[in-house]
Amino acid sequence: MLRDGVAHYDWVRFYVVAESKRDLVLGPFAGEPTEHVRIPFGKGMCGQTAEREETFIVQDVSQETGYLSCSLKVQSEIVVPFSKVARS
């Protein structure tokens, strides 16, 4: 829905926390396949987001140290952490 609803979104993906609580594992995505199906906490923008639990907005990924490129078409990236909240 995000990819189809916003014309300039080329790649939309969701990573989930692995059972180890130290890695992210690729979940649902829309776009080209990627080799980054498992990302350690702290590595790349997704891993940093998981480790710090804060949103990252990167205007130019080519200027980012340690960026993990999933597609050569990606020029900027927004990474947002979210979690399921248990209801009582």
Q: Is the CATH number of domain 2-79 3.40.50.300?
A: no
The contacts of residue 68 (CB under 8 Å, 6+ apart) are: 36, 39, 43, 44, 45, 46, 47
For the segment 42-61, what is each residue's pLDDT rounded down to a tens digit?
999 999 999 999 999 999 99
pTM of the model: 0.80
Alpha-carbon distance of 7 to 78, in angstroms, equals 15
Query: What is the full DSSP assignment across 7-25?
Result: TT---EEEEEE-TTSSEEE
Tens-digit pLDDT profile for residues 7-37 = 666 778 889 999 988 999 999 988 888 999 9
Location of structure tokens 């960026």: 67
**C-alpha angle 82-87-21 in degrees, rounded to nearest 5:** 40
